[in-house]
């Protein structure tokens, strides 16, 4: 059986499984559609949240970004896990006690203002849609690879699948489907990593293999540092970027994690307040299984690629074009070339492909000496690394099929969760909460589905010119959530001083300033060449657009405090509401709010 | 009135616990993983230094311990102050 059929088989089987579960657990009422009837155990909820959370960015993109940058991209690892500490300590138990369906309902009630609720909805929509763009990029790459077509067509086909999938589910279907998806994606991520770790270090646990030694007794990371510096790239384990930017970037990802609607929504679905606390812990357990493996995947793939391009060592001859075209070990390069995400070119016509950093002065001297005319591995999209990884390491065909299924599971589960958050914001908060309070359950469900379709169309249109690799696009979404939603939620629980005007002003200030900073660097609505600055030379010192969320959050907090100090005090009944949210006793079953 | 006082005591105990946990959270990630990494450069771990380990794995493990510790401690605190769910 050839690889194409094998991929199709794995992807098809996993889809059949998800669809089967979705049909079995189909949502009947609106409350089931949004919150799964609250009968979900913390461990189950944790597993589903982990699948929901670990998206194309974590599965497909993150290890690739770490592989090509090394230590400097550790921010993704710390940021996307550290946010759960904030969530567990500062938000989850209180929002569960409050007992409504959506994040904006909490903001609307706590800040006794329908304007605050509307502003929250807008913030949620902006962050979620940016997030969906990143997911669609991942979906496009995964579909492009396994159907062996251009990533653009992959994106279009993928978006249809995502839509069909999200529209029929609702939360209840999604919760159980996501448990299945978690199992698929974690297996798919771990198995190739175990094989590769065994090949390179003899240690079956990739997380330990990363700090282990290669056959020659030399530590893996020392060997990797040696090879990448030989080729003129930055040392893998060393810090190169600005410390301030790294701190702010990590902080933005953390705060953003705790401010994303589709993750917070999950903590409304546990039965009790104490379960909300445990649930955050279980979620992180399941996430950590992937996140502890990811840095090993990155480092080992970087080593494998470098060695494949220089089979005789970095001082020997580079790999020949002929070998790339005929040696089965290099077959992955031809398949990935079809997606347009990998490319090479024999610039100096010597029949070999020299892969090195042609911006490095030492290597330029070496190139002049050897007659090289620039780096010949001309295109290596970071997002393909994880999906290509088993092929790069020459693992068996079924592993490759499994990884394709896993990557799609990751992208689909998150895209579905986000679409659900978007549709509930539009139909539940915007339409039923504000514009047409008398709408029937049936038309609310219909509105929810239409808004899902609209969100996908917008995401695909904006995703045609993505502002970065999938994980970077997603990082922008986190910046937006960090600057707008998280501060409002936290102040709503921990301070009785912040009033309606303060919260609205804070959210708007945080959102606008962050969105502005992103557009100035990434182009207006991500349209190429409309940017005034680049992340290589940002407007404010070393602060890149992906790191700005933390500053946006600080602006939000500051504005909210100043404006609250100047306007009328919070009424007593709201102070009582805050008091009651802080105490677990009396947490009933959550009710639908209007 | 005594219930209010007890609720206040419960809340300040909670806030204290949160502050301690967040101090550890920041120390392992922003501290050991980024800003204080040069100070840990002398401690070798598998071909690199301890700061690299904290940045890529150590902080995640500490985060996990923190969340479970907090959940356990708070559930105990709920009962001590009589505010647990019935």
Helix boundaries (H) for A348-429: 361-370, 385-392, 397-424
Partnered with residue A219 across adjacent β-strands are A213
Average pLDDT on A151-156 reads: 86
Reported ipTM: the value is 0.95
Average pLDDT on A266-289 reads: 88
Quick one: tokens of A79?
């940021």
Measure the CA–CA gap between A77 and A74, rounded to whole angstroms: 5
Kindly report the CA angle at A65 between A379 and A373, in degrees rounded to 5? 30
Q: For chain A, say whether B75 makes contact (Cβ under 8 Å).
A: yes
Contact yes or no for B33 and A220 at CB 8 A: no
Q: For chain B, say whether A220 makes contact (Cβ under 8 Å).
A: yes
Contact yes or no for B71 and A81 at CB 8 A: no
Contact yes or no for B18 and A281 at CB 8 A: no
- Cα maximum dimension of chain A: 80
Quick one: tokens of A239?
């810090």
Select the highest-mean-pLDDT range: A38-42, A192-196, A437-441, A446-450.
A192-196
Smallest Cβ–Cβ distance between A81 and the set B34, B63, B83 belongs to B63
Smallest Cβ–Cβ distance between A584 and the set B29, B64, B83 belongs to B83
Chain A residues with CB under 8 Å of B47 CB are 211, 213, 218-223, 225, 237
Contact yes or no for A274 and B84 at CB 8 A: yes
Best CA proximity match to A550, nearest among A247, A260, A262: A247
Average pLDDT on A138-159 reads: 84
Q: Residue A521 belongs to what H/E stretch?
A: helix A500-522
Contact yes or no for B59 and A291 at CB 8 A: no
Provide the percentage of residues in chain A whose pLDDT is more than 70: 95
pLDDT at position B1 is: 44
Provide the percentage of residues in chain B whose pLDDT is more than 90: 74
Q: Residue B44 belongs to what H/E stretch?
A: strand B44-45
Contact A388, A336 (CB under 8 A): yes
pLDDT at position A175 is: 72
Q: How many CB pairs under 8 A join A and B?
A: 139
Measure the CA–CA gap between A147 and A145, rounded to whole angstroms: 6
Q: For chain A, say whether B23 makes contact (Cβ under 8 Å).
A: no
Q: For chain B, say whether A78 makes contact (Cβ under 8 Å).
A: yes
pLDDT band with cut points at 50, 70 and 90 for residue A575: very high
Nearest-Cα residue of chain A relative to residue B9: A583
pLDDT at position A29 is: 53
At residue A360, φ and ψ (nearest 5 deg) are: -90, 130
Contact yes or no for A77 and B56 at CB 8 A: yes
Quick one: tokens of A284?
């992180």
Ordered by where they begin, the domains of chain A are 3-301+391-582 (1.20.1730.10)
The more confident residue out of A509 and A27 is: A509
Measure the CA–CA gap between A499 and A504, rounded to whole angstroms: 9
Average pLDDT on A156-165 reads: 83
The more confident residue out of A415 and A6 is: A6
The more confident residue out of A567 and A447 is: A567
Judged by DSSP in three states, A120 sits in helix
DSSP letters spanning A194-217: HHHHHHHHS-S-HHHHTTSB-TTS
Contact A456, A159 (CB under 8 A): yes
Chain A residues with CB under 8 Å of B12 CB are none
Average pLDDT on A269-273 reads: 80
Residue A377 CA neighbour count, 13 Å, CB half: 21
Smallest Cβ–Cβ distance between B25 and the set A82, A210, A583 belongs to A82
pLDDT at position A571 is: 95
Nearest-Cα residue of chain B relative to residue A213: B46
**Which residue's entry shows tokens 């996307």?**
A80
| Residues A368-414 pLDDT 10s | 999 999 999 999 988 889 989 988 888 888 898 899 888 888 887 78
Distances in Å between the Cα of A471 and the Cα atoms of A124, A234, A330, B57 are 19, 21, 27, 19
CA pseudo-torsion sign A68, A69, A70, A74: negative
Chain A residues with CB under 8 Å of B11 CB are 582
Quick one: tokens of A591?
């009710």
Contact A354, A371 (CB under 8 A): no
Best CA proximity match to A415, nearest among A54, A22, A168, A147: A54
Nearby residues of B7 by Cβ (< 8 Å), 6 or more positions away:
A579, A582, A583, B81, B83
Contact A214, A220 (CB under 8 A): yes
Average pLDDT on A326-353 reads: 90
pLDDT at position A594 is: 41
Q: For chain B, say whether A452 makes contact (Cβ under 8 Å).
A: no
| Residues B37-77 pLDDT 10s | 999 988 988 889 999 999 999 999 999 999 999 999 999 99
Best CA proximity match to B68, nearest among A274, A38, A586: A274
Average pLDDT on A320-334 reads: 91
pLDDT at position A439 is: 80
Q: What's the gap in Å between the CA of B48 and the closest CA on chain A?
A: 7
Residue A248: pLDDT above 60? yes
**Which residue's entry shows tokens 């050897």?**
A370
pLDDT at position A589 is: 59
Torsion from C-alpha of A41, A43, A45, A49, nearest 10 degrees = 170
Q: For chain A, say whether B78 makes contact (Cβ under 8 Å).
A: yes
Quick one: tokens of A26?
């189909």
Distances in Å between the Cα of A529 and the Cα atoms of A122, A136, A520 are 26, 22, 10
pLDDT at position A186 is: 93
Nearest-Cα residue of chain A relative to residue B35: A243
Smallest Cβ–Cβ distance between B63 and the set A84, A210, A274 belongs to A84
Contact A61, A138 (CB under 8 A): yes
The conformational region for residue A400 under phi > 0 = left, psi -120 to 50 = alpha, else beta, is alpha
- The total of other beta-carbon atoms located within 10 Å of residue B68's CB is 18
Contact A175, A40 (CB under 8 A): yes
Measure the CA–CA gap between A33 and A416, rounded to whole angstroms: 12
pLDDT band with cut points at 50, 70 and 90 for residue A68: very high
């Amino acid at each position: 059986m050839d690889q194409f059929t094998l991929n199709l088989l794995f992807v098809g089987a996993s889809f059949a499984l998800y669809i089967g579960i979705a049909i079995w657990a189909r949502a009947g009422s609106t409350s089931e559609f949004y919150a799964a009837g609250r009968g979900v155990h913390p461990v189950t909820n944790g597993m589903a949240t982990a699948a929901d959370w670990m998206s194309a960015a974590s599965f497909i993109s993150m290890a690739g970004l770490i592989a090509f940058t090394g230590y400097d991209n550790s921010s993704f690892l710390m940021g996307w896990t550290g946010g759960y500490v904030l969530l567990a300590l500062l938000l989850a138990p209180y929002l569960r006690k409050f007992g409504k369906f959506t994040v904006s309902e909490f903001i609307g009630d706590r800040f006794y203002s329908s304007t605050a609720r509307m502003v929250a909805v807008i913030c949620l929509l902006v962050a979620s849609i940016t997030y969906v763009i990143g997911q669609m990029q991942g979906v496009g790459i995964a579909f492009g690879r396994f159907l062996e077509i251009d990533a653009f067509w992959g994106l279009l086909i993928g978006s249809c699948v995502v839509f069909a999938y999200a529209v029929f589910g609702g939360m209840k279907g999604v919760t159980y489907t996501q448990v299945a998806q978690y199992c698929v994606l974690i297996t798919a991520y771990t198995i190739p990593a175990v094989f590769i770790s065994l090949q390179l270090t003899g240690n079956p646990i990739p997380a330990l293999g990363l700090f282990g030694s290669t056959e020659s007794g030399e530590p893996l990371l020392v060997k990797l540092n040696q090879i990448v510096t030989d080729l003129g790239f930055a040392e893998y384990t060393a810090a190169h970027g600005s410390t301030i930017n790294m701190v702010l970037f990590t902080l933005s990802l953390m705060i953003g994690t705790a401010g994303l609607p589709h993750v917070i929504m999950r903590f409304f679905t546990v039965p009790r307040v104490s379960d909300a606390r445990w649930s955050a812990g279980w979620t992180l357990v399941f996430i950590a299984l992937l996140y502890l493996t990811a840095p090993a995947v990155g480092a080992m793939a970087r080593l494998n690629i470098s060695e494949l391009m220089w089979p005789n060592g970095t001082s020997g001859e580079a790999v020949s074009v002929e070998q790339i075209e005929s040696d089965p070990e290099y077959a992955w390069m031809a398949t990935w070339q079809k997606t347009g995400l990998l490319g090479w070119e024999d610039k100096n016509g010597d029949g070999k492909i020299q892969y090195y950093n042609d911006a490095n002065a030492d290597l330029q001297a070496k190139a002049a000496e050897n007659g090289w005319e620039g780096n010949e591995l001309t295109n290596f999209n970071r997002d393909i690394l994880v999906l290509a990884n088993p092929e790069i390491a020459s693992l068996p065909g079924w592993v490759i099929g499994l990884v394709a299924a896993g990557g799609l599971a990751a992208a689909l589960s998150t895209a579905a969760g986000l679409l659900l958050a978007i549709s509930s914001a539009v139909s539940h908060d915007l339409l039923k909460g504000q514009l047409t309070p008398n709408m029937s359950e049936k038309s609310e469900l219909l509105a929810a589905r239409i808004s899902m379709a609209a969100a996908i169309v917008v995401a695909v249109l904006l995703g045609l010119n993505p502002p970065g690799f999938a994980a970077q696009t997603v990082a922008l979404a986190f910046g937006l959530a960090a600057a707008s939603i998280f501060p409002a939620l936290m102040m709503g629980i921990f301070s009785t001083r912040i009033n309606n005007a303060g919260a609205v002003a804070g959210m708007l200030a945080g959102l606008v300033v962050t969105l502005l900073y992103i557009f100035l660097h990434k182009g207006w609505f991500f349209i190429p060449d409309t940017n005034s600055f680049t992340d290589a030379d940002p407007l404010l010192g070393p602060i890149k657009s992906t790191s700005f969320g933390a500053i946006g959050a600080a602006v939000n907090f500051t504005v909210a405090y100043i404006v609250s100090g100047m306007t009328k005090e919070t009424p007593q009944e709201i102070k009582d509401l805050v008091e009651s949210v802080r105490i677990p006793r009396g947490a009933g079953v959550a009710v639908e709010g209007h | 009135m005594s219930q209010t006082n007890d609720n206040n005591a419960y809340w300040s105990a909670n806030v204290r616990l949160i502050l301690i946990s967040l101090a550890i959270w920041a120390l392992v990630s922003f501290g050991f993983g980024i800003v204080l990494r040069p100070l840990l450069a002398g401690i070798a771990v598998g071909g690199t230094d301890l700061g690299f380990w904290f940045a890529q794995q150590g902080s995640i493990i500490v985060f996990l311990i923190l969340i479970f510790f907090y959940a356990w401690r708070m559930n105990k605190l709920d009962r001590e102050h009589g505010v647990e769910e019935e």
